[in-house]
A and B are shown apart, each in its own frame.
Chain A
Amino acid sequence: MVEHPVTAVLEMNGLTVRFATPEGEVSAVNELNLLVGPGERLAVVGESGSGKSQAFLATLGLLARNGAAGGDVRFHGQPLLGLKSAALNEIRGARIAMVFQDPMTCLTPHLTVGQQLAEVLVLHQRMDKAAARRRAVEVLEQVRIPEATKRMDQYPHELSGGMRQRVMIAMALLCEPELLIADEPTTALDVTVQAQILALFEELCAQRAMGLILITHDLGIVAGLCDRVVVMYAGRIVEQGAVRDLFRAPAHPYTAGLLRSTPQLDQAYGEALETIPGQPPNLQALPTGCAFRDRCARAVARCASERPRLQRTGEGRAVACFKPHGEVM
């Protein structure tokens, strides 16, 4: 696999997430291996239901009650899975912060923005109220919230969606985390604000060696911000590599499909956008062999009988496919 510094911020080895449902067991994540180094910006892309969010919820012990995580996840060498919630609370919010997808509902409605931000600081950094308030205003300004002092005394319902999303991001950054897990962090933002937030992320990664895991559908953001990409499909990594290499020459047919189905500004008007036919497989009854084969134009007989393993193909590159692009068919 990829060479990494010894002090990986986050290291996943064979992470498996399963949900017990009345219809049977669902495997959301299978044998996931991942490494994030200090200051590294990793993108995790994939369709809805590919397990990308669940893998990181499991990391922080946030799985739903019917979910179970197996394997090994380490944060600076310390195992996270199976940790008691009191011990996890020392890490969550302080050293690993997460920005959730939905900015509309992630803020407690009856507390002001300031109260919620201060809560985190008082909790983790034992700050007094005044210091917490100063720090909160500072971070709100960092995430480009206009009139930050005034916003502190407002309630979430008085802010716009984009503003709330920035508050969520501010909350995650309050304690200067060593790892930021951002799940679609910029969906509700204007492109201009989005660019500013992404620039802020980049700056934090560079200055404080913060590790960043960006979970997203937006390949444009990935290209602009991240060092490495992991492409997930049906709970497994199908391809990974440095952003530039992977975007220039996607090896897995799924990655290639994803890239082709991204709208291009220079695309001729009226030209139909390419899509990947079919739908992601049912995780309860995964087909034998490659999970993508039913939607794959390159599938061969072997794809149905045998599951392709993730194979190293070059510097930092790996792909799980018997018939990758760039090889003679």
Chain B
Amino acid sequence: MVHLNKTSDGMANLVETSEVKGRSLWADARRRLLRNKAAVASMIILALITLLAIFGPLVSPHPYDEIYWDVMGIPPTLESAHWFGTDSIGRDLFVRTMYGARVSLMVALLATTVSLLIGVVYGATAGYAGGRTDNLMMRFVDIMYSMPFMFFVIILMVIFGRNIFLIFVALGAVEWLTMARIVRGQALNVKNKEFIEAAVASGVSTGAIIVRHVIPNVLGPVIVYLTLTIPQVILIESFLSFLGLGVQEPLTSWGVLISDGAKEMETAPWMLVIPAAFLAATLFCFNFIGDGLRDALDPKDR
């Protein structure tokens, strides 16, 4: 009997140690994402670009707006300390590319944060409320959608002058619309699930249900869409800057650099190639991460 008890104790211990703490869906997704080589490589490259954007200008001896009259439009060399060369009026391209990265990444970050905050709350509320509220809220989104965005930005620029924060606002104001639609669709789907009904039956208030039970369950598609929004936002910013509506000289962004470089394409290709390569690499990385996340969060669809 004693012996028997011992064995069962041992068994209990064995079970106790071998059993891991509950693994959440998120932990599972993280594991799958980390197994995706393209996504991991993209994250590393993106981290490097971000680090460069933050610390690059500190390493370089050149300020971003200083004009070196003696070295206008020189190609990249190591001896001159202009690692990426200079632009057509003699400013250091390395530092300018890094400043461009700062602007582009910041636009990406702020605009997507705005779109995330407004879009998720708005979409989840509309979807969960349903009926007339949903109808009203989504018709407002439709109206916003039908506004010509470029026109909207140009008017803002004319009224308030060129200002980088206006770009954040304008981009965020447009990007949340799609986010709201996606979240609303997901919320409509989630709200008819039994666990929502069970939560209602347990006396959980509507607000708490949206925050605790609806939003976390729609985050999968939201995160995926987010990583695909970021490159879109960077592109729009580049496009606006290319048109001359973006950041103001001497501050720069990748779009501005590409636009300037395009003018010198035949005589000084590096002025176009370097910022374009950074932009392309960043966009690639975000797209790969988005792809990896989609696979990681929804393994059944593969």
> Which of the candidate stretches A119-127, A198-206, A239-247 sits at the interface with the other chain?
A119-127
Fill in one digit per residue for B119-140: 1 if any A CB lies within 8 Å of its CB, else 0: 0000000000011000000000
- B194's contact among A86, A105, A111, by CB below 8 Å, is which? A105
Number of interface residues of B (CB under 8 A): 29
Residue from B21, B23, B206, B216 within 8 A of A85 (CB atoms)? B206
Determine which of B19, B23, B201, B203 lies in contact with A124 in the assembled complex, contact meaning CB atoms within 8 Å.
Answer: B203
Q: Are B19 and A100 in contact (CB under 8 A)?
A: no
Alpha-carbon distance A279/B212, docked complex (angstroms): 42
B204/A93 in contact, CB under 8 A:
yes
Main secondary structure of the interface of B (DSSP, over half): helix
Q: Is the CB of A65 within 8 A of B131?
A: yes
A119 B204 Cβ-Cβ under 8 A:
yes
**What is the CA–CA distance of A279 and B262 in the complex, to the nearest angstrom?**
77
What are the residues of chain B within 8 A of A119 when measuring CB–CB?
202, 204, 212
Enumerate B1-55 residues with CB–CB distance to A below 8 Å.
Answer: 15-16, 19, 21-26
Question: Of B22, B194, B213, which one neighbours A155 at CB under 8 angstroms?
Answer: B22
B300 proximity list for chain A (CB < 8 A):
none
Do the beta carbons of A109 and B217 come within 8 Å of each other? yes
Docked CA distance A155–B195 (Å): 14
CB-based contact A88/B203 at 8 Å: yes
CA distance in complex: A158, B24 (Å): 9
Whether B22 lies near A105 (C-beta < 8 A) is no
A60 within 8 A of B: yes
Q: How many Å lie between the Cα of A63 and that of B195 in the bound state?
A: 15
Across the interface, do B201 and A100 meet the contact criterion of CB distance under 8 Å?
A: yes
Which residues does chain A contribute within 8 Å of B212, judged by CB atoms?
A: 108, 111, 119
* B267 interfacial by beta-carbon distance below 8 Å: no
Contact present for B194 and A100 (CB under 8 Å): yes
Q: CB within 8 A of B197: which of A62, A91, A97, A171?
A: A62
Closest Cβ–Cβ distance, residue A83 to chain B (whole Å): 12
Interface presence of A107 (CB below 8 A): yes
A168 touches B204 (CB 8 A): no
Shortest distance from the beta carbon of B207 to any chain A beta carbon, whole Å: 11
Known contacts A106-B195, A107-B195, A108-B217: A92-B22 contact under CB 8 Å: no
How many Cβ-Cβ contacts under 8 Å join chain A to chain B?
Answer: 86
Contacts of A168 in B (CB 8 A): 198
Docked-complex contact A100 and B197, CB < 8 angstroms: yes
**B302 in contact (CB, < 8 A):** no
Q: Are A171 and B199 in contact (CB under 8 A)?
A: no
A106-B198, A107-B195, A109-B195 known; A92-B203 Cβ under 8 A: yes
List A72-96 residues whose CB lies under 8 Å from chain B. 85-86, 88-94
> Is A47's CB within 8 Å of the partner chain B?
no
Q: Give which listed residue, A85, A109, A153, A171, contacts B202 with CB less than 8 A.
A: A171
Which chain B residue has the least Cβ–Cβ distance from A117? Answer: B202
B216 touches A93 (CB 8 A): no
**Is B146 interfacial (CB 8 A cutoff)?**
no
Chain B residues within an 8 Å CB radius of A85: 205-206
Task: Decide: A89 and B199 in contact? CB cutoff 8 A.
Answer: no
Which residues of B from 207 to 249 have beta carbons under 8 Å from A? 208, 212-213, 216-217
When C-beta atoms are compared, the residue in chain B nearest to A86 turns out to be B205
Residues of A within 8 A of B16 (CB): 150
Q: Enumerate chain A interface residues (CB-CB to B < 8 A).
A: 60, 62, 65, 85-86, 88-94, 97-98, 100, 102, 105-112, 119-120, 123-124, 147, 150, 153-155, 157-158, 168, 171
A-B contact pairs, 8 of them (CB 8 A): A65-B131, A85-B206, A97-B201, A112-B24, A119-B204, A120-B204, A155-B25, A157-B25
Known: A105-B193, A108-B216, A109-B217. 7 other contacts (CB 8 A): A89-B204, A91-B203, A92-B203, A108-B213, A123-B202, A157-B25, A171-B202
